[in-house]
Structure 1
Amino acid sequence: MTAIAATQTTAAVQPGKVRNRVLWTLQIVLGLFFVIASGGPKLVMPQTLIENNHTAASISLGLLVFIGLAEVAGGVGLMVPRLTAAAASGLAIVTFLAAGYNAFLAQTPELAPFPLVLSAIFVWIAYERRASLTALGALIKR
């Protein structure tokens, strides 16, 4: 009886076929974006990025590398089925903080909407993939 209840609960949380395809397309595109275009340059050439930063507030080299690692890990995690909800949650936090940095510290509020939209997309992905978070928790408890 327990196995039947667990199957029904998992089935109730999984998205439909079309929604699943949309989610995977978003996850792959955003994952590749964060690995190649966003986090990758922060790891490969952080000093160049710091030197070309023309905003009022500057970021230390260590913080920039940490953000790059978080973005690359999140991008890879978006493409691993068991890690999608955790990666999307982490990237939602990173992009929300990036919007706050742009709006308040860097004094470039015109750049804040893009990370906010990304944050909302990551919250939606994390919500839709919440079953993977439960499966990851069960795997860790073993």
Structure 2
Amino acid sequence: MSVTTARPTTAPVLTRRADIGVWTLQIVLALFFAIPSAAPKLVGHSSAAQSFDAIGFGDWFMYLVGALELAGAIGLVTPVLSGVSALALIGLMAGAVVTQLTFLDGQYWFTPVIFAALLAVVARTRRHRTAELLGLVRRRM
């Protein structure tokens, strides 16, 4: 019988400057996902509606994606949710790449890739927050 011990979930050692840099990145990403990305979808702006009509899913999907982007933006600036929100938004960006290449002209496929790479920096740096959240969920169960 083997005995496994759980490793402590300690925060990665970051300099103050690096921590401020990651927080700045989180805020900039949150602003992007909330304002120019989610807002047009949530208000049903014609530019967003045209793109989602081309996909073929209709308005409900546009509102869903807008709500997910807004939730992710809020999560990016909520300490305990920052890591898992970055991971969720990476998933959303993967869907955006597939959508760009499959349903749209594919001209801007690289944009969600760039955002996914930036979100990966946040997810990696804030992985201790994800572990902390998982621990909180497990204790509640």
**Common fold by TM > 0.5:** yes
| Structure 2 residue identity aligned to 1:76 | I
Q: CA deviation at 1:43?
A: 1.1
- The structure whose residues are more often helix, as a share, is 1
Q: Which residue of structure 1 aligns with residue 88 of structure 2?
A: 90
Q: CA deviation at 1:28?
A: 0.3
Of the candidates 128, 131, 134, which is equivalent to residue 134 of structure 1? 131
Q: Give the Cα–Cα distance (whole angstroms) in 1 for the partners of residues 40 and 52 of structure 2.
A: 17
**Quick check: 2:82–2:123 contact (8 Å CA) kept in 1?**
yes
TM, length-normalised to structure 2: 0.83
Q: Which moved more, 1:108-117 or 1:75-84?
A: 108-117
Q: CA deviation at 1:129?
A: 0.5
**Quick check: 1:98–1:115 contact (8 Å CA) kept in 2?**
yes
| Structure 2 residue identity aligned to 1:113 | F
- For structure 2, the residue ranges without an aligned partner over 5 or more in a row are 1-6
TM, length-normalised to structure 1: 0.83
Q: Which moved more, 1:119-128 or 1:65-74?
A: 119-128
Q: CA deviation at 1:73?
A: 0.2
- For structure 1, the residue ranges without an aligned partner over 5 or more in a row are none
Q: Does 1:65 align with 2:63?
A: yes
Q: Which moved more, 1:74-83 or 1:120-129?
A: 120-129
**Quick check: 2:83–2:130 contact (8 Å CA) kept in 1?**
yes
SS state of the match for residue 74, structure 1? helix
Q: Which residue of structure 1 aligns with residue 27 of structure 2?
A: 28
Q: CA RMSD in A?
A: 2.2
